[in-house]
Amino acid sequence: MTQKTWTAVDNYVSEMLVPSDKALDAALEASADSGLPEIAVAPNQGKFLMLLAKSIKARNILEIGTLGGYSTIWLARALPAGGRVVTLEAVARHAEVARANFERAGLASIIDLRLGEAIDTLPKLAAEKPAPFDFIFIDADKENIPDYFTWSLKLARTGSMIIIDNVIRDGEVINAKSRDPSVKGVRRFNEMLKAEKRVSATSVQTVGVKGYDGFTLALVTSEA
Ligand code: SAH
Ligand code: DHB
Ligand code: MG
């Protein structure tokens, strides 16, 4: 059972449970037409994120790594009236495509996209003393996951849920000798998580249209 099966099963699941949706389809199409890398979450994963955020009644959502805003649109759909998503993106072209996608989806007023390196934007965001983020999706450059997680804890509250994408990396996560900066970032993050008393966390491996990877769920159980 390999990629062909994983893709076929993901397509089956999406056909059964994730009905096609104009705004989401248009976001993917515009992203592809603009030459953005095709690394957005899969439809069934996007819905999974939306359901998680909805199940904890998230009002304030933070995303690190927007790309064309596909996952952002899913997350925005979890919000009650008055909720918002702040999403951080370093590449101007990605941000431009994402903004157009938010407009088309009718979500521009509740999505606040901040252009810039996340490591610069996060302290600026914290300085605004925003309401704590209930749900945080970390999905930008993997070498900086440890820093993004540290900032996420500062921006969260007890009960916040933090999801970190792409933490299995074809199983390379267990290769202690890997020189891949993404793998090194994830491994350093896991060391941090192991020692972190304020969260309870686990990782789940996934296969699907995007290959073999996985995510970590960290629940903030107590404050600093
Ligand atoms: N969350 C998106 C996919 C994000 S892909 C989705 O599932 O639809 C990762 C994104 O992070 C890319 O757009 C990339 O440009 C952005 N990124 C990479 N390094 C970054 C950094 N240092 N700061 C902010 N964004 C960054
Ligand atoms: C990559 C980034 C992602 O966020 C993802 O889900 C898959 C791949 C990448 O940078 O290759
Ligand atoms: Mg990802």
Atom of ligand 1 at shortest distance to CA of 46?
7
Distance, CA of 182 to CA of 191 (rounded, Å): 14
Predicted TM-score (pTM) of the model is: 0.98
pLDDT tens sequence across 15-55 = 999 998 999 999 999 999 999 999 999 999 999 999 999 99
* H/E element, 203: strand 199-208
Measured on CA atoms in the order 168, 153, 191, 199, is the torsion positive or negative?
negative
pLDDT tens sequence across 78-131 = 999 999 999 999 999 999 999 999 999 999 999 999 999 999 999 999 999 999
87 close to ligand 2 (CB < 6 Angstrom): no
Contact indicator for 101, 26 with CB cutoff of 8 Å: yes
Q: Which of helix, strand or coil describes residue 69? A: coil
173 close to ligand 1 (CB < 6 Angstrom): no
Q: Which of helix, strand or coil describes residue 36? A: coil
Q: How far is the CA of 156 from the centre of ligand 2 (A)?
A: 24
* Token digits of residue 42: 């899969």
Atom of ligand 1 at shortest distance to CA of 118?
23
Q: Which of helix, strand or coil describes residue 65? A: coil
